[in-house]
């Protein structure tokens, strides 16, 4: 059974009474499948939530006793044509190693691209905010100076546009008490 908690974590919960030879590999496969299954085409890796496997076993896992997967017996009892067709297709795809590798490569490429784009978008957003804040500070200071001292000389406007965040903040404070433009830029 696959369950999800309020934080989005997935739990692959199994109750087993018969141990299969490849029990550990199969358990890991289903956990990995639940993890990978979270991503849809174009999703970012950052959306992935943890997957936790909980196995209630009627045997000691590392002592070589037996286990049983409930899903296999339940699914084999469903005789509806659409379900059987889906199971047959899944088996055919699962048996075709080249198709699995092509599908995996395609999935990786799509997720890599989504993660790259999300990262680039975030970097661009942060850079835009920084630029916007700098331009905003410069615009406010220019307006303050013009209101207090009249039209600004071109060299003052250029100095404001080339200034960094720290300088702009200092000048914006000084303009409140300065008697001249020269006092602001001292």
Looking at per-residue confidence, does 134 or 15 come out higher? 15
**HSE-CB for 181 with a 13 A CA cutoff:** 19
Provide the greatest CA pair distance for the chain.
90
Helices in 2-96 by DSSP H: which ranges? 23-36, 70-76, 81-95
Token pair of 95 as six digits: 């048996």
Tell me what the mean pLDDT of segment 160-173 comes to: 87
Least reliable range by pLDDT among 83-97, 147-161, 163-177: 83-97
pLDDT digits (tens, 9 = 90+) for 115-133: 777 777 777 676 665 655 6
**Can you give the pLDDT at residue 62?**
66
Q: Are the beta carbons of 171 and 184 closer than 8 angstroms? A: yes
Domain ranges of the chain: 2-95, 123-184
pLDDT band at 178 (very low <50, low <70, confident <90, very high): confident
Tell me what the mean pLDDT of segment 157-178 comes to: 87
164-178 residues labelled b (16+ CB within 10 A) or e (exposed): eeebbeebbeebeeb
Q: Are the beta carbons of 157 and 142 closer than 8 angstroms? A: yes
Q: Measured at the alpha carbon of residue 93, what is the angle toward residues 89 and 94, in degrees to the nearest 5?
A: 115
**Can you give the pLDDT at residue 63?**
58
pTM of the model: 0.36
């Amino acid at each position: 059974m696959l369950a999800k908690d309020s934080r989005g974590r997935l739990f692959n919960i199994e109750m087993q009474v018969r141990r299969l030879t490849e029990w550990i590999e199969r358990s890991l496969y289903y956990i990995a499948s639940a993890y990978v299954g979270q991503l849809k085409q174009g999703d970012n890796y950052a959306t992935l939530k943890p997957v936790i496997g909980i196995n209630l076993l009627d045997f000691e896992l590392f002592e070589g006793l037996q286990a049983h997967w409930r899903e296999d017996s339940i699914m084999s009892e469903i005789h509806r044509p659409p379900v059987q067709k889906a199971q047959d297709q899944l088996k055919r795809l699962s048996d075709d190693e080249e198709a699995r590798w092509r599908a995996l490569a395609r999935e990786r490429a799509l997720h890599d691209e989504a993660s790259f784009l999300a990262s680039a978008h975030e970097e661009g957003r942060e850079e835009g905010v920084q630029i916007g804040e700098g331009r905003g500070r410069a615009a406010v200071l220019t307006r303050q100076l013009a209101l207090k001292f009249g039209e600004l000389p071109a060299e003052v406007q250029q100095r404001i546009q080339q200034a960094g965040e720290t300088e702009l903040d200092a000048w914006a404070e000084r303009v409140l008490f300065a008697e001249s433009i020269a006092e602001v830029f001292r």
